[in-house]
Amino acid sequence: MLGLRLRSLFFNVGWYVGSTIIAIVGMPTLLLSRSANIAWANVWIDFCLWWVKVTCRITHRVQGFENRPAGPVILACKHQSSWETLAFHRLFPNAATVLKRELLYIPVVGWAMARAGNIAVERGDGPKALRSLLRQAKAAVAEGRSILIYPEGTRTPVGSSLPYHAGTAALYRQLGVPVVPVALNSGVFWGRRKFIKWPGVIEVEVLPAIPPGLDRETFMATLRERIEGATQRLVAGAKRQQP
């Protein structure tokens, strides 16, 4: 356990130092194009994923990419960890991520999120937030981009789930594109609000797409069943990796 604590401490220190340096050096890109901001963000993300591999021995493996249809889709993803907020930008390039507007107020990082063309919504703003979500999502799909959303709206501890938000169903109905469920087990290794990071292989599974045209109830039930069922299976497999 002492070794895990030291590795996790080393990761945190290096992460803050490295992130600060990358942020300072890359600040001029805020004045440039969206593609320049995405390239800058990718440098930071690559550093984070490399650093957690070196210090905490966390790697990842993805299966099921063949289940993603060509063209814009809605990627509906399980959310257990900070890991996927980083890695998914590399695994699903050119996707517009739905995020809390308050994140855009974080100095440098938040500004880059805005410049990269993500979809920011105001929590607790009801119908106004939903209209804003749909407007921004339609614009992204018109540009040929996919939408990445976390149906539960926040990170959940391993073994638990929250109600799936209505925004996912609204996107499904209004955009008329397939929804691709994505399951994972990242929380086993990089837990929500946990200091210690456990070594192992994070598994991400891209599941068969849900075609447009289902009624709301059937769609939401199918989405939850696929994501939660696969996530439980991946979590069980991950726990067998741990001592």
**DSSP secondary structure, 16-76, as one string:** HHHHHHHHHHHGGGGGS-HHHHHHHHHHHHHHHHHHHHHHH-EEEEEE-GGGSPSS--EEE
Q: Are residues 68 and 180 in contact, defined by beta-carbon separation less than 8 angstroms? A: yes
**Residue 59 corresponds to which tokens in the numbers above?**
């790697």
d(C-alpha 197, C-alpha 136), whole Å: 35
Does residue 14 belong to any structural domain of this protein?
no
| Total number of domains in the chain | 1
Does residue 179 belong to any structural domain of this protein?
yes
Phi and psi of 205, rounded to 5°? -125, 120
| Segment 137-145 long-range contacts (CB within 8 Å, at least 24 positions apart) | 137/96, 137/98, 137/171, 137/174, 137/175, 138/174, 138/175, 140/72, 140/96, 141/72, 141/175, 141/177, 144/71, 144/72, 144/94, 145/72, 145/94, 145/95, 145/96, 145/117
Does residue 166 belong to any structural domain of this protein?
yes
Confidence (pLDDT) at 86: 92
Structural domain boundaries, residue 85: 58-239
Does residue 40 belong to any structural domain of this protein?
no
Confidence (pLDDT) at 82: 92
- Residue identified by tokens 């993500």 is 118
* DSSP code, position 105: G
Q: What is the chain's pLDDT, residue by residue, as a tens digit (243 residues)?
A: 768 889 999 999 999 999 899 888 888 877 778 788 888 888 999 999 999 999 999 999 999 999 999 999 999 999 999 999 999 999 998 899 998 877 676 766 666 777 777 888 877 667 888 898 999 999 999 999 999 999 999 999 999 999 999 999 999 999 999 999 999 999 999 988 888 999 999 999 999 999 999 999 999 999 999 999 999 999 998 987 776
Does residue 8 belong to any structural domain of this protein?
no
Report the SS3 class of residue 238: helix
Does residue 168 belong to any structural domain of this protein?
yes
Phi and psi of 190, rounded to 5°? -125, 85
Query: In 3-state terms, the chain is what percent helix, strand and coil (to 5)?
Result: 55, 15, 30
Kindly report whether the global pTM for this prediction surpasses the value 0.85.
Answer: yes
The arrangement of strands across the sheet holding 200-206 comes to 58-63, 200-206, 179-184, 74-77, 146-149, 95-100, 119-121
Confidence (pLDDT) at 124: 67
Does residue 47 belong to any structural domain of this protein?
no
Does residue 164 belong to any structural domain of this protein?
yes
